[in-house]
Amino acid sequence: MKRVLIVEDQADIRKLIHMTLEFEAYEIHEAADGATGLRLAQALRPDLMLLDVMMPGELDGLQVCQRIKSDPELAHIKIVLLTARGQARDREAGAKAGAEEYLVKPFSPLQLIDTIERLTATA
């Protein structure tokens, strides 16, 4: 079973993503901020992280992504950035941070599932 970590500060969005994935064959974990998400990633070693870009606290999504991708123990984790910002420079920042995919909110549940299945098929 593939392990997915959702890191999203908005509880309603976290719940929506969880509900979308709970009928698929995923072990789902959640974090409400970047620092907690990073700690859980280190502890759980998920196959994939759904990572909000703009979060309050000490670490935003791009910083979490950079730290994971620069750690040889965690670099295998596939990262999908979730954000309301869809401009080219935002996508470039996500790619530079090391994310495999970038989904702009609002995205459809099918789009989310397709993206996760595509990325975890090789994991």
Is the pLDDT at 75 greater than 90? The verdict is: yes
Q: What is the predicted pLDDT for the residue at 3?
A: 97
Structural tokens at position 19: 């509900």
Give the pTM: 0.95
Which are the contacts of 98, defined by CB distance < 8 A and separation ≥ 6?
65, 66, 68, 69, 70, 75, 79
Query: What pLDDT is recorded for position 122?
Result: 60
Let me know: does 74 contact 106? Beta carbons within 8 Å: no
Residue 22 backbone phi and psi in degrees, to 5? -65, -20
* pLDDT (tens digit per residue) in 5-56: 999 999 999 999 999 999 888 999 999 999 999 999 999 999 999 999 999 8
pLDDT for 14: 96
The CA distances from residue 11 to 7, 33, 59, 75, in Å, are: 10, 11, 18, 27
pLDDT above 80 (res 91): yes
- What single letter denotes the amino acid at residue 105? K
Torsions phi, psi for 111 (to 5 deg): -60, -40
Helix (H, G, I), strand (E, B) or coil at 49: strand
Helix (H) or strand (E) holding 27: strand 26-31
Q: Is the pLDDT at 85 greater than 90, yes or no?
A: no
Set out the domains of the chain in order of their start, with CATH numbers.
Answer: 2-120 (3.40.50.2300)
